[in-house]
A and B are shown apart, each in its own frame.
Chain A
Amino acid sequence: KAGVTQTPRYLIKTRGQQVTLSCSPISGHRSVSWYQQTPGQGLQFLFEYFSETQRNKGNFPGRFSGRQFSNSRSEMNVSTLELGDSALYLCASSPQTSGVFTSTDTQYFGPGTRLTVL
C-alpha cells in the first residue's frame, strides 16, 4: 500500500500571500488530520476531517482552513501568510476504528510540507 503523500514538499512564500497544501491519505483511510510542527511549539493539531466533514479543530486562527474531498484527499489553506506560519505541515491518515482503540490503531504520517514565509 502506498503511504501518505503530501505535495509540495517545499514551498517558499512571502508575507500576505496564501498557500494551499495537499494530502493524499492511504487508500481506504477516511480520516485525515493536519498538524503544524515548529521548533518552539512541537506538533500542534490543526484539524481533522472524516468523510468530508471537519470533526475537530485546534486552536488556530481562521486564516487556517481545510477541506476533504469525496476520495478522502484533503487540502489545507493558509491565507494572509505571516512569518510565524513558517513550519513543517504534516498530514496524517487513519482508518476507521471500532471505537475502542487497540494497539494497531495509529495515525500514519506523510513526509510533510516545509513552508517558509519570507
Chain B
Amino acid sequence: DQQVKQNSPSLSVQEGRISILNCDYTNSMFDYFLWYKKYPAEGPTFLISISSIKDKNEDGRFTVFLNKSAKHLSLHIVPSQPGDSAVYFCAATMADRGSTLGRLYFGRGTQLTVWP
C-alpha cells in the first residue's frame, strides 16, 4: 500500500525555468515531510523538509509547499540548473515514534532532467 505517491515518473525542464515536483499522501497521521535528491550509485541526499504546522518552507532555490487539506506537497526549484538533474524522492513520517524520525515512507521518485 503506497502511502506516498509521486505520480510523475519523469519531468523535463529547460535551464533557468521553474521545476515543480509533486507528491500526494494518503495517511493523515503524517506530520513531517522531506524531499531527497538521488544520483545514480549514491545514497539519497536531504534537500528540504516541512512540518505540518507550516504551509511553506524555503531554502535558497528550493521551496516546499504543503496543502494538508488536499494531502499534497510540491517542491519548486527556481531557477533550475543542469546539476539539478537527478531523481527526487518525497518522504513522510509521523511523530508518534518518540525521539527519532523512525520510519520514512517514500514515494517512487521523479526523474528530473534539466536541459540547457
Contacts and interface: CB of A to CB of B under 8 A. Distances in A.
B32 to A, nearest CB: 4
B104 A45 contact: yes
Interface in A18-57: 30-31, 33, 35, 41-45, 48, 50, 55-56
Contacts of B93: 101
B100 A50 contact: yes
B51 to A, nearest CB: 6
Contact of A101 (B46, B101, B105): B101
A112 B41 CA distance: 8
Interface residues of A, number: 34
B104 A33 contact: yes
A31 B101 contact: yes
A103 interface: yes
A58 B46 CA distance: 22
Interface string B25-57: 000000110101000011111101111000001
A112 B43 contact: yes
Contacts of B97: 55-56
A84 interface: no
B106 to A, nearest CB: 4
Interface string A105-118: 11111111000000
Contacts of A101: 31-32, 49, 51, 93, 95, 101
Interface of B: 31-32, 34, 36, 41-46, 48-51, 57, 89, 91, 93, 95, 97-109
Given A43-B44, A103-B51, A109-B36, 13 more contacts: A31-B101, A35-B104, A42-B106, A42-B108, A45-B103, A48-B100, A48-B102, A56-B102, A56-B103, A101-B101, A105-B32, A105-B101, A107-B101
